[in-house]
Amino acid sequence: MLDFSILTENLDMYLLGFKNTIMSSLIALVASLILGVLIAIMRIAPIKPLNWLGTAYVEFIRNIPLLIITFFFFLGLKLSGLYAGTLALTIYTSSFIAEAIRAGILSVPKGQMEAARSSGLTYGQAMRLVILPQAVKIVIPPLGNQFINLVKNSSILAVVAGLDLMYHGDLISSRTFVVFDVYIFVAAFYLILTIPLSFGVGYLEKRLAKSN
Amino acid sequence: MGGGLIMIVFDRVNKYYGDFHVLKDINLTIKKGEVVVVIGPSGSGKSTLLRCINRLETISEGSLSINGLNVADKKTDINKLRRNIGMVFQHFHLYPHKTVLENIMLAPKKVLGQSVEEAKKIALKYLDKVGIGDKANSFPSQLSGGQQQRVAIARGLAMGPEIMLFDEPTSALDPEMIGEVLDVMKALAHEGMTMVVVTHEMGFAREVADRIVFMDEGRVLEEASPAEFYANPREERARLFLSRILNH
Amino acid sequence: MLKKKKWLKLSLLSLLAVILLAGCGGGNDSDKAEEGGGKDKEKDVLAQVKEKDKIVFGVKNDTRLFGLKNPSTGDVEGFDIDIAKALAAEILGDENKVEFKEVTSKTRMALLNNGDIDAIVATMTITEDRKKEVDFTDVYFDAGQSLLVKKGSDIKGIDSLKGKKVLAVKGSTSSINIREKAPEAQVLEFENYSEAFAALKSGQGDALTTDDSILYGMADEDPSYELVGGTFTEEPYGIAVKKGNTDFVDELNKALKSLKDSGKYDEIHDKWIKH
């Protein structure tokens, strides 16, 4: 059976890590979404140099391990653990979000853009008023998945002393010489974040479907 | 029917998709108030011709001008040009996430800067005109094909264009709904709208067209009034086409 | 609001499920070794060692002077390695009857306890806490904790760490000691010495703390870093063996004594430790 004293005696460390993981994940979530939308639009806009830049970004970033990106910011740019990890998390996730959004936008029928442009709307207006709102519905499930991945990937902070949940788990484990129980509790804390996220995404999906 | 003002001019227009020569040496003039119906076998380039007018397709050679404005010129404000040209598509392309009323109001609000009240008034007017004033707050998915297409026409008219383009507007409709859409188009024609219509509906053409343009393999093979064209087509291929269409 | 209740219930249920499942799975690392000599299922380590005719040692691969992998040959080299080989020569008659597995301060206990390795020879300090988890041989090396700083740093020793960032390795006694002895310093812990040193070099900390023996290896590698303040703890290194295997510990102690008496120990010591 699980040794709950591990949890109770180290609760302050678990909670400190939990708090930092939440903060880091939240910041990265918002930032990667904004960045992802920008990159997606760059890839779709009818301006060749922007296309090229956006594609290069996505192909490069999503094919490198998150750990390496993190080390780049930590050792290369010498940002502190928490910042390096959160920034790396943002950049990494943004490439996947850009892809999900681009796929969503492309799956909106071509005729929608044609109808919008034919009435005199500019490309930007057509995107904003006609295409993107339709793309949003399609994009919510894959985006939700990316956010859940983001929360799990935030554990990368542990490797650069980012003071997150996993880092504190490591510390507790190395001090108590207990491995299994310590990390089960860590997992439980992650679940507290990821399970509501899943439900939230599901709820959002249903509500958007209703407006059809 | 057919005033003197020249609106659309195709002058030695050619278009290529890579090596494929899709529009060959098109010379065509359309005057204000004219109703021009373009017919021809599939692959003849008639839709392409139509879509060149509002630059959904670009031309490779020659010149295409609307009210004297060169459509292909990079300096031409294409968005401004398109305000004056309404387009109705074969598959309607209504915005599914907006109500019927919102569909019609969108461009007048965002492009012409109309206030919500103004736009709503005009939208309701055109909605009534096409015969479905009661569906203002429905969503496109709740309408039949014929109703959706009529909304699409209202959407095009709400911008107050001088030219209306129709790309096979009834080809995707069940037979019993074709009539209601054609009726709206006929009314428009009678009111003096300049219309370019790609269609297979011969009855419609015979009734309201000022001119039939027959295309085949990228060329304009024959132009004539409906009476002349249907009675006695000059071109061999036109005759062949007609016989096939009329003998269903 | 009904939906919210549903989520809450489901989340709590899943959480419960995970914890229950974990309970059934059962942790093994927190299990203390069996009472007395109840070795009915498992043969003790010494017997296994004799049977397979080799000793599997857990050693560091990232610690210059004690256990460092040579990139060109692929072999691990260092004081710990040579001691281990010499012990194998004493116990099994041939210094090649050894196998080396890489361990870190974080993983060495777990690997010892689940039988992946027979003994730990990896710069491991003997402490009272650790004696509760494993059995140690006699001391085979005397180290002491110290500080590594960039040459010219204003840190002179353990007393000048107020408001400074000190880097250490997760799971090391040094990380625990430094928090006790310099509570005003901020301590950040990393996976291994390589990463801790890289972090130090990239300015993520003002000092690195661990055994002076290990720090000498780092100063060896990058002479722009130096040790300051002498040692402020005593770190006696011992060889760790799975709890309860007193006969194996005795064998190792016998072998160690033999090495010291014969002068082989001094030979190995002088080869690696120049300070």
- Mapped to the 3 state alphabet, what secondary structure does C60-106 carry? CCEECCCEEECCCCCCEECHHHHHHHHHHHHHHCCCCCEEEEECCCC
Q: Complex ipTM above 0.85?
A: yes
Can you list the alpha helix ranges (DSSP code H) found in B32-115? 46-53, 78-83, 100-110
- Cβ within 8 Å, pair A177-C199: no
Which of A153, A190, A157, A152 has the alpha carbon at shortest distance from A171?
A157
Q: Which amino acid is at C23?
A: G
- Cβ within 8 Å, pair B86-A117: no
Cα C36–chain centre separation: 26
Q: Which amino acid is at A34?
A: I
Confidence label for C29 from pLDDT (cuts 50, 70 and 90)? very low
Query: How large is the average pLDDT for residues C98-111?
Result: 90
The answer to whether the beta carbons of residues C257 and C87 sit under 8 Å apart is no
Instruction: Tell me how many degrees the CA angle B60-B64-B68 measures, rounded to the nearest 5.
Output: 150
- Per residue in A91-103, is it b (16+ CB within 10 Å) or e — as a string? bbbbbbbbbbbbe
The answer to whether the beta carbons of residues A21 and A194 sit under 8 Å apart is no
Judging by DSSP bridges, how do beta strands B194-198 and B35-39 pair with one another? parallel
Write down the residue that tokens 């609307």 correspond to. B66
Q: Which two tokens stand for residue B35?
A: 């109703």
Indicate whether C41 pLDDT > 60.
no
The answer to whether the beta carbons of residues C79 and C272 sit under 8 Å apart is yes
Q: What is the pLDDT of residue C3?
A: 62
A6-15, B73-82, B225-234, C241-250: which has the minimum mean pLDDT? B225-234
Confidence label for C40 from pLDDT (cuts 50, 70 and 90)? very low
The answer to whether the beta carbons of residues B215 and B44 sit under 8 Å apart is yes
**A208 contacts on B by Cβ (under 8 Å):** none
* Alpha carbon of A87: minimum distance to chain C alpha carbons (Å): 16
Cβ-proximal residues to C73 (8 Å cutoff; 6+ apart), any chain: none
Chains adjacent to B (≥3 CB pairs closer than 8 angstroms): A
DSSP string, chain A: ---HHHHHHTHHHHHHHHHHHHHHHHHHHHHHHHHHHHHHHHHHSS-HHHHHHHHHHHHHHHTS-HHHHHHIIIIIS---HHHHHHHHHHHHHHHHHHHHHHHHHHTS-HHHHHHHHHTT--HHHHIIIIIHHHHHHHHHHHHHHHHHHHHHHGGGGGGGT---HHHHHHHHHHHH---HHHHHHHHHHHHHHHHHHHHHHHHHHHHHHHT-
- Say yes or no: C191 contacts chain A, CB-CB below 8 A: yes
Chains adjacent to C (≥3 CB pairs closer than 8 angstroms): A
Cβ-proximal residues to B25 (8 Å cutoff; 6+ apart), any chain: B12, B13, B14, B62, B219
A108-112, A156-160, A176-180, B96-100: which has the minimum mean pLDDT? A176-180
Q: Which residue of C has its CA nearest to A73?
A: C202
Quote the percentage of chain A above a pLDDT of 90: 75
Whole-number Cα distances in Å, B163 to B8, B146, B183: 9, 22, 18
Query: How large is the average pLDDT for residues B12-17?
Result: 95
Instruction: Determine if residue B93 is left, alpha or beta; phi over 0 gives left, psi from -120 to 50 gives alpha, anything else beta.
Output: left
**C204 contacts on A by Cβ (under 8 Å):** 74, 78, 80-81, 161
Chains adjacent to A (≥3 CB pairs closer than 8 angstroms): B, C
Q: Which two tokens stand for residue A139?
A: 């994009």
- Say yes or no: A202 contacts chain B, CB-CB below 8 A: no
**What's the whole-number average pLDDT of chain A?**
92
pLDDT tens track for B142-184: 999 999 999 999 999 999 999 999 999 999 999 999 999 999 9
**d(C-alpha C238, C-alpha C121), whole Å:** 7
Confidence label for C34 from pLDDT (cuts 50, 70 and 90)? very low
- Cβ within 8 Å, pair B56-A212: no
Confidence label for C7 from pLDDT (cuts 50, 70 and 90)? low
Q: What is the pLDDT of residue C22?
A: 54
Sequence-separated contacts (24+) of A202-205 with Cβ below 8 Å: A202/A144, A203/C3, A204/A140, A204/A144, A205/A140, A205/A141, A205/A144
Write down the residue that tokens 């188009």 correspond to. B185
Write down the residue that tokens 């799990």 correspond to. A152
Coil vs helix vs strand at B211: strand
The residue count for chain B: 248
- Say yes or no: A112 contacts chain B, CB-CB below 8 A: yes
The answer to whether the beta carbons of residues B64 and B196 sit under 8 Å apart is no
- Say yes or no: A121 contacts chain B, CB-CB below 8 A: yes
Q: Which residue of B has its CA nearest to A125?
A: B110
- What single-letter DSSP state applies at residue B114? -
Confidence label for A190 from pLDDT (cuts 50, 70 and 90)? very high
Q: Which two tokens stand for residue C52?
A: 């397979």
Indicate whether A212 pLDDT > 90.
no
Indicate whether C184 pLDDT > 70.
yes
The answer to whether the beta carbons of residues C119 and C134 sit under 8 Å apart is no
Q: How many CB atoms lie within 10 A of CB B235?
A: 15
**What's the whole-number average pLDDT of chain C?**
87
Q: What is the pLDDT of residue B246?
A: 72
